[in-house]
Each structure stands twice: as C-alpha cells, then as structure tokens.
C-alpha cells in the first residue's frame, strides 16, 4: 500500500512537472512568435520608408557640400558642414534626415554624420530619425516647394587629425593660428535616409 501511494505521488508530481514545462514552452513560443512578428513589421516599415525616401529624394537634393575646420569667428576650432537643400517638389518639406559620407582621395569612406539639416545646428548628434509631431506645426522647419535653403551643421564628434591647421616648420618659428579655415580635402557624398513632404 505504501509503495502504491509513493508510485501515485511520483506519477502525479511527474505529470505536474511535464504539464508545467509544456505550458511554459507554449508561452515562450507564443512570445517568440509575437516578438518576431513585431521585428518583421518594423523591418517592413523601415524598408517602405527607405524606398519612399529614395523615390522622393529625386525631388529634394543636398548640393554645394563643404566641410571645414573654422579658424575664426564664433565657430573657431569647430568642424562645420555646410551646404544647401533644394526642394523641387510641389509639396513643402517638413523633415529630412541626411547621411553625409566623408570620402578620401582613394574613395574610402572615412567618416559619416547623420543629421537633420532643417534643424538649428547646436553641435549635438541627432538620435532619432522620427519626425516629431510638434515640429510639423513649426513654420521654422519648413522648406517650401520649389525653393532652396542653406544649412550648416556642427560636426561634434569629428575624428581628430583628419582636419588640422598646418603647423609651422623649421626651428625658431612661432606657431601662428591659421587665418583661413582648413577644408576637407576629399569629397562629400549625401544620402537621404528619410524625408516628409506635405
């Protein structure tokens, strides 16, 4: 009788453990499927946004890009990226995210910066690429249709040594600060990551 009770207890406990493992496995699988669906949806939305940006980017272009280590004025000692946006579409441009690549003489991409050219340049790297609803109501951040606007952006994390003022050579010469800005010697290539036309 004692053995029979122990056997029944072992069978009940084993059944409970197996059943609970099965339940937790099903819950884990369901959570995995839900997370995977969210990831797939995000990937699809990003792909649609990228395709839309590429289609619309033929109407919006960044031109006249230049980058220099400023030697005088309020921006002295800072790397400033300048250029202009041209909106050739029939709609107003409310937001745009640009990625600018710094390409050296051999064609290698040395550095890239991502920023919003319609936003004021504070020297802070932008974190998100999402259009904020409060920006849509602001007339300050709008580029009207068939118009252009100059922009400048302070590149805050630019690698040291890529743009430096020339140092005096020879003995006994005193170092004089550069009187002209030091320009980026390579080329700059802009890519539109996202944009909002309305």
**What is the pTM assigned to this prediction?**
0.62
According to DSSP, residue 130 is labeled: P
pLDDT in tens, 22-34: 999 999 999 999 9
Angle at CA 101, nearest 5°, toward 49 and 47?
15
pLDDT at 130 (0 to 100): 44
The pLDDT of residue 126 is: 44
* CB-side neighbour CA atoms (13 Å) of 24: 6
pLDDT < 50: residue spans in the chain: 123-139
Q: Tell me, what's the pLDDT at 133?
A: 41
Q: Residue 75 and residue 182: Cα distance in Å, rounded? A: 13
Supply the pLDDT for residue 124.
45
Residue 189 CB: number of other CB atoms within 10 A? 14
- In terms of DSSP H, where are the helices of 57-144? 133-136
CATH topology of domain 60-166+178-197: Immunoglobulin-like (2.60.40)
């Amino acid at each position: 009788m004692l053995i029979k009770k122990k056997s029944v207890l072992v069978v009940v406990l084993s059944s409970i453990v197996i059943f609970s493992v099965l339940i937790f496995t099903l819950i884990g699988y369901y959570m995995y499927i839900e997370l995977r669906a969210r990831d797939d949806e995000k990937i699809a939305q990003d792909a649609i946004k990228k395709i839309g940006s590429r289609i619309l980017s033929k109407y919006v272009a960044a031109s006249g890009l230049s980058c220099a280590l400023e030697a005088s004025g309020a921006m002295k000692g800072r790397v400033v990226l300048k250029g202009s946006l041209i909106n050739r579409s029939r709609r107003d441009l409310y937001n745009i995210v640009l990625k600018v690549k710094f390409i050296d003489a051999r064609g290698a991409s040395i550095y890239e910066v991502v920023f919003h050219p319609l936003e004021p340049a504070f020297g802070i790297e932008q974190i998100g690429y999402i259009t904020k609803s409060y920006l849509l109501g602001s007339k300050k951040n709008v580029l009207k249709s068939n118009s252009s606007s100059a922009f400048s952006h302070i590149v805050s994390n630019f690698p040291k040594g890529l743009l430096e003022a020339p140092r005096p050579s020879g003995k006994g010469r005193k170092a004089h600060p550069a009187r002209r800005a030091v320009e980026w010697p390579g080329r700059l290539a802009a890519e539109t990551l996202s944009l909002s036309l309305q």
